[in-house]
Amino acid sequence: MTGRLSGKQALITGAGRGIGAAIALRFASEGAALLLNDIDAAAVAAIAEECRKDSAAVHVCVADVSDPSAVERLFDEAVAALGGLTVLVNNAGIGGVGKTILDSDLDEWNRMIAVDLTSVFLACRAAVPLMRDTGRGSIINLSSVTGVTGTAGSVPYASAKAGVIGLSKALAKETAHWRINVNAIAPGLIDTEMSRVRGQSSSAADLLWPRIGTPDDIAHLAVYLASDEAEFVTGQVISPNGGAVI
């Protein structure tokens, strides 16, 4: 690769599989120093080992990013392992359960908001001072096309992912004067374990492009947003969705 992220210090949450793993592998190939987070110790350790084929500076921190004390520990580890932080990718999340609001209970709602939205708030709040002191930073928050359009049977998930978009836009306005970019990626149908569990057939029928998306499609975009090439891009919601939503 071309070393587009050489000198970058990146923390990626939910890096053990799917989109997060693809982003980790691409970041390593582009020269970033990495701290990889996931709640699944074995999965994230395996991805870290793959990343070390391209980057010697790869560290792991197992933590539940919906837990405030765990997030504090995660960012302490980022400073200790990487010496600072210039890129944050908030990818950790859980998927919708395919229930209407009448069948959803408060515990399901609270869990979804905690993992898919509160975790993003906690991580951004911890990252901004580190990036401010460095004088540069990039925050990439993973939302979903469902957060843009809404989808029946996904009220908690759609609400959380729409919240990620609102958070990203507001934070971009707060941090631009510190040269911290904040953007959201809102993927459409991507071939991951999560999407396979939820089922793909109805969403795939909406695509204009002759295939569904892959985690690498999102990783390519994340590399750009983390690089100096994207310095003038902030407060944006970019939705790679194969033309399902135009």
Whether residue 194 has pLDDT greater than 80: no
| Percent of the chain whose predicted confidence (pLDDT) is above 70 | 94
The mean pLDDT value for 130-149 works out to 98
Give the pLDDT confidence of 67-110 residue by residue, as tens digits: 999 999 999 999 999 999 999 999 999 997 689 999 999 999 99
Which candidate in 22, 65, 148, 157 is catalytic? 157
Class of domain 9-238: alpha beta
224 is catalytic: no
Asked if 44 and 50 touch (Cβ cutoff 8 Å), the reply is no
- When pLDDT is cut at 50, 70 and 90, the band that residue 204 belongs to is low
Q: How far is CA 157 from CA 88, 103, 150, 218, in A?
A: 22, 14, 9, 19
> Which residue blocks in 32-154 are alpha helix, DSSP H?
41-51, 68-82, 106-113, 119-134, 146-149
Give the pLDDT confidence of 148-168 residue by residue, as tens digits: 999 999 999 999 999 999 999
Q: Which residue has the higher pLDDT, 193 or 122?
A: 122
Confidence (pLDDT) at 146: 96
Which amino acid makes up residue 154?
S
Asked if 189 and 242 touch (Cβ cutoff 8 Å), the reply is yes
Domain segments of the chain as ranges: 9-238
Confidence (pLDDT) at 200: 55
What is the rounded CA–CA span in Å between residue 63 and residue 137? 23
Confidence (pLDDT) at 205: 64
Structure tokens at 242: 């194969």
What is the rounded CA–CA span in Å between residue 246 and residue 157? 21
**Mean pLDDT, the chain, integer:** 95
Confidence (pLDDT) at 112: 98
The mean pLDDT value for 193-204 works out to 59
